Amino acid sequence: MERTRAQKFWIYVGVCLVMLFTALPLLLLVTATFSSSGDLNAKTLHLWPSEWTLGNYSRVFSGEASDGSLPPFLTAMKNSVIVALSSTLLTLLIGMFAAYACARFRFRGRDTLLVSILGFRMVPEVVLLIPLYVIFARMGMINHKPALILIYTAFNLPYVIWMMQTYFRSIPRSMEESAQIDGVSPLGILFKFLLPLSLPGLVATGIFVLLIAWDEFMFASIFTSTYDAKTITVAISEFSKRGMIDFGMQITGGFLASLPPIALALFLQKYIISGLSEGSEKG
């Protein structure tokens, strides 16, 4: 669809507004990480650091870990990677089967089941804080990563089941039916036909779930007290001491902690939007 000159002008105005909306706070975030505490604590307008410094970065990476191997910040990053990745993989693995059951099998109460699965995502997490703490404490799982992995898996399963079954349903059944006649087992159909065809959906769902797991704070904060278990969100919140907030350190740690999810989100964007747009442009 061709646009007139005037329309094009307004589109570019709109694009500029979107860019400004997004970029301004981000710019302040990035420049703050390179600012000295003098600039950060100035009472006059500072949109640009008067001197560029890496002081915040060196403070973030300083400090000794309990076992002397990695500084606490990097240990927390490592913990977050382990927790978020494992829970994502686990969620995709078990959610995929459930989604397959809902998309391709008829059984009594299927629709009710789907709705109630989504209903579990609506429970305010805070209500589960104490029961889960008590249960995991009795099993000796506090301060151990599997506790958080399991919790995030349970919280994200509804999203995964719901999203994956939508992708599965959008794949036409005709091919499977002929395969079925050839005697391919239901699991074979899932792995040979459905999964390869819905790979973009699987990746998109996975990234979405990974971002949520990376983001979680309330449970991580109550469930982890040791270096070996604290995740990145907890580590960032701990950069503030009593009555003393080292903003430079907090924002720099935060910026570094945001890089992995940002990279993933950009990847997600390419996957979802460009994939879909290619399809629609061709069509």
Chain residues 77-96 in contact with another protein, contact rule CB under 8 A: 94-95
Among 43, 67, 112, 182, binds another protein (CB under 8 A): 43
* Backbone dihedral angles phi then psi of residue 245, each to the nearest 5 degrees: -110, 120
Q: Pick from 4, 5, 6, 21: which binds another protein (CB under 8 A)?
A: 21
Asked if 122 is part of the footprint of another protein (rule: CB under 8 A), the reply reads: yes
d(CA 171, CA 193): 9
Task: Report whether 133 contacts 141 (CB < 8 A).
Answer: no
Q: Which stretch binds another protein (CB under 8 A): 16-24, 51-59, 174-182, 193-201?
A: 16-24
Q: How far is the CB of 130 from another protein (least distance, A)?
A: 5
99 contacts 194 by C-beta, under 8 angstroms: no
In the chain, the N- to C-terminal Cα span, in Å, equals 14
Q: Is 106 helix (H, G, I), strand (E, B) or coil?
A: coil
- Compute the least distance from the CB of residue 176 to another protein, in Å: 15
Question: Counting contacts by CB under 8 A, is residue 117 touching another protein?
Answer: yes
Residue 226 φ/ψ region, left for φ over 0, alpha for ψ in the -120 to 50 degree band, beta for the rest: beta
Query: Interface mask (CB under 8 A) for another protein, residues 130-169, using x and -?
Result: xxxxxxxxxxxxxx------xx-xxx-xx--x--------
Q: What number of other Cβ atoms are within 10 A of residue 278's Cβ?
A: 10
Give the residue carrying structure tokens 């009594």.
108
Distance CA 232, CA 250 (A): 11
In angstroms, rounded to a whole number, what is the distance separating the alpha carbons of residues 161 and 101? 10
Torsion of CA 255, 260, 265, 266, to 10 degrees: 90
Site for another protein in 187-206 (CB under 8 A): none
Q: CB of residue 174 vs another protein: minimum separation in angstroms?
A: 21
CB of 117 to another protein, least distance (A): 7
Toward another protein, which CB reaches closer, 53 or 237?
237
Among 125, 177, 199, 200, binds another protein (CB under 8 A): 125
User: For residues 207-266, which are near another protein according to CB under 8 A?
Assistant: 211, 214-215, 217-218, 221-222, 225-227, 232-233, 236-238, 240-245, 247, 250-251, 254-255, 257-258, 261-262, 264-266
